[in-house]
Every structure is written in structure tokens, then in C-alpha cells.
Amino acid sequence: MPEVRRKMATDCQLATQIEQRLLARNQVLESFFAREANRLAVACREMSDRFLRGGRLLAFGQGPYATDAQHVSVEFVHPVIVGKRALPALDLSILFRPWLEAIVRSDDIVMGFGPPEGDPEVWATLDAARAGGAMTFAFPGLEGSYSIPPANADPFIQQELVEVLYHTLWETVHVFFEHRELGHDVGAAEFLYPFLGREKQPTGDVIAEVASSIQMKVADDAKLRAQVAAEEAEQIGNAVSAISERIRRGGKLIIFGNGGSATDANDWAIDCVSPPSGWKPIPAVSLALEPANITAIANDVGTEVIFLRQMIAQAQPEDVAIAISTSGGSRNLIMPLEEARKRNLLTVALLGYDGGEINRRELAEFPLIVRSDYIPRIQEIQASIYHVIREALEVLGRGDS
């Protein structure tokens, strides 16, 4: 009985810590965007000008920050809102300096990602691109067309802030497109920025309204994160305890997702194997980091089994299968979870909306649900969740050593 009471006390303490860590993000983000909203709106206007002149978005970073380049690229090329144009964007992280030097043009937009203290190689590459006329974004940095100093020394919180920032860039660039090209009709962007209505406004007026709307979006993000902290902290804590037990028994994390969720799977896996200084590595793989396997399986068998086939090859009895999905309904995520359940792996899912089919069919022992129907906000809160899980696993690991 004393052991049971100790476990209950530990679980309660863990849930409280998780709730506090989630809420801590809100103050940082709201303070940052209150300062930066107007500058962001102006930067988005220039981005839209460059895209309309044929410019491209070229993004890069190293380590976990390469996943931000992946994410921003897929957001611009494959927009989450039906009917939005595909904008040219590339992730050059694998060999960014020579690749950029070979292809950059003066109308391009060049975006470099790094840790809170910055990355000198990223900065040098951005400087070279700016010298050639490109618009540059340094996340973080001190120079460029748009740069931000570190908003927080915590690399996870800083990375989450940057994700909100580039989601905002994507949303706002489309508003300027439709304002300029359609004039009286903002089309599908009207639900994002209803103030535009059907009358064309001077662009300066639009900047002020967009800046205000950016802050409203960050406030919505904060409310959603607070809701998850209140409703899901205990479930997240239980998931952490179960994952930690599997790791102690020699298991690894097998993480997978589609699109932006694929980049989150990659980031989570990298955070496990290459964590902040002084932390213990955790065995993890991302099935989304295997383009040769994914394209071979998709071509030879079909897209529904791109992760299932890898799960069959990679899974061991003590492993943890983790699906990341905004809808909870993707067949290529459902199938590997089904396989994982057959093999008695621990199953976890980060989900949006109401959790979708994954939640209804109870394919995840620990469904962690962000109850929203807007994909960028879901992804932003999911990033907070998996970062908090990684933090908690480190704390539990120290307690075991």
C-alpha cells in the first residue's frame, strides 16, 4: 500500500509539472508576438511581393532545426487550406551552403533556423544570400531582413515560438496575395482575416489589421494550450510513465506522421537521440525520415503501407509506437498502430479534432488530443506536448540512475 501511495503521489506531481510547463509557454509567446506583430505583417507583405515576382522560399537548419526547414517547406508547397496556391519552397538543410550558393536568386526568400544561441554557419550563409539581394530571415539572429533575438534560452520553447511564427507567415502571405490580386474579394482567406471583407483597402491599412489579427491568433493558441494543460496533463503524465518503463526495458520510440506531422516525428526523434547538453539520449527512430523506403513502398505497394512495412521491419517487443496526426483518420497511420497493438507494443497518438478513427477505435493506449479543427494551431500545441514529454522523460530517467 505505501508503494501504491508513493506512485500516486509521483503521478500527481508529474501531471502538475506537465501542466505548469505547458502554461509557461504562453507568457513567452504572447509577449513576443505583442512586440513583433507589426514587423511580421510588413515582412509578409515583402514576401508576397517576392513570390509574385517569381521568388522562392529556401530554408535550412542543422540537427533538430532542419526539421523546421522541412516543416516550413511543406506548409508553403502543400497548403492546409483547400484552394490555396502551392508556393515554391525548398528545404536545403542536407547541404545548405553550397546548394544555396548554386541556386539562390535576388528575388528569393532565405530562411535559416538554429538554436537559441544561434548558428554561425547559418548566419554566414544568410549573409551571403543577403549580399546577393535575397530577403533573409534569421531564427534567431541579429541581422537580416527579419531577425529575432532569442526569446527564450530553452531550445524547445524557442523552437515552438518559431513554429508559430512561420505558420503566421504562411497565413499572412496568402492574405496579401488575395488582397492584391483579387482586390474586392479575399476568397478562401476571408475566414482567416474577416476584416478584409469585400472592399479593397490601402495596403498600409491591411498591415495594421493583419498585425492585430496575428495577436488574436496567438491568443487563440494560448487558450488552446491552456485547455490541453487542464484536460490532458494527467493523461500526458501517464503516457510519460508508460514510455519511461518501456525505455528502461530496452525499448525505443518509433514515431511517424504525414506532412507537417512527419517533420514533428523527425524533430521528436532527433530530440531523443541528440538532446540538449547534459541530457541522456533515448533510443528513437522516425519512419518519416526514410525517403527511399517511403517512395519505394509507395511505388511498389501503395501509400497506405509506407509506415506499416517499416513497422513490421523495425518493431521489437518493448518498443513504443507513436503516431502524430491532426485528423486521427489517416489510413497509413492506422495500419501501423494496428500492427503495433498485435505485437503488444505500447501505443501513443498525438491527435487533433476529436481524435478521429484512431481514438474511436482505441488504437492508442494513450491518445493525447488537441481539440481544435485548425491544423496550424493543432500542430503548435502538439509540438508543446512532445517537447514536454521529452523533458519529463529526462527527469524520470535521472530519478532511475
* Higher-confidence position of 25 and 179: 25
The residue out of 175, 196, 220 marking a domain boundary is 220
pLDDT for the residue 11: 75
Give residue 392's pLDDT band: very low, low, confident or very high (50, 70, 90).
very high
What is each CA distance from 111 to 83, 129, 235, 315, in whole angstroms? 25, 10, 36, 36
The residue out of 201, 220, 239 marking a domain boundary is 220
Asked if 372 and 346 touch (Cβ cutoff 8 Å), the reply is no
User: Based on the domain organization, do 193 and 59 belong to the same domain?
Assistant: yes
pLDDT at 92 over 60: yes
Task: Give how many domains the chain has, as a whole number.
Answer: 2
- Full residue range of the structural domain in which residue 67 is found: 31-220
pLDDT at 189 over 90: no
pLDDT at 324 over 70: yes
Q: Mean pLDDT, to the nearest integer, of 200-211? A: 74
User: Based on the domain organization, do 175 and 272 belong to the same domain?
Assistant: no
Q: How many CA atoms, within 13 angstroms, populate the side-chain half-sphere of residue 129? A: 35
User: Based on the domain organization, do 6 and 102 belong to the same domain?
Assistant: no
pLDDT for the residue 177: 83
**Residue 369 resides in a domain:** yes
pLDDT tens-digit readout, 275-298 = 999 999 999 999 999 999 999 999
d(CA 190, CA 373): 17
DSSP class of 147 = E
User: Based on the domain organization, do 254 and 391 belong to the same domain?
Assistant: yes
**Residue 20 resides in a domain:** no
pLDDT for the residue 81: 65
d(CA 353, CA 276): 32
Torsional sign, CA 230, 236, 241, 244: negative
**Residue 175 resides in a domain:** yes
Q: Mean pLDDT, to the nearest integer, of 296-306? A: 98
**Residue 22 resides in a domain:** no
Q: Which secondary structure element, helix H or strand E, spans residue 209, and what is its range?
A: helix 203-248
User: Based on the domain organization, do 192 and 252 belong to the same domain?
Assistant: no
**Residue 36 resides in a domain:** yes
Q: Mean pLDDT, to the nearest integer, of 189-214? A: 63
User: Based on the domain organization, do 206 and 236 belong to the same domain?
Assistant: no
What is each CA distance from 112 to 309, 356, 371, in whole angstroms? 34, 35, 32
Q: Give the CATH number of the domain where residue 380 resides.
A: 3.40.50.10490
Kindly report the pTM of this predicted structure: 0.92
User: Based on the domain organization, do 184 and 248 belong to the same domain?
Assistant: no
Q: Mean pLDDT, to the nearest integer, of 306-320? A: 98
**Residue 24 resides in a domain:** no
Average pLDDT, the chain: 91
Q: Mean pLDDT, to the nearest integer, of 225-237? A: 98
User: Based on the domain organization, do 107 and 130 belong to the same domain?
Assistant: yes
- Cis amide bond preceding 149, omega within 30: no
Q: Mean pLDDT, to the nearest integer, of 331-353? A: 98
> What percentage of the chain exceeds 70 in pLDDT?
90
User: Based on the domain organization, do 242 and 379 belong to the same domain?
Assistant: yes
Q: From 226, 192, 217, select the one nearest 83 (Cα to Cα).
A: 192
**Residue 61 resides in a domain:** yes
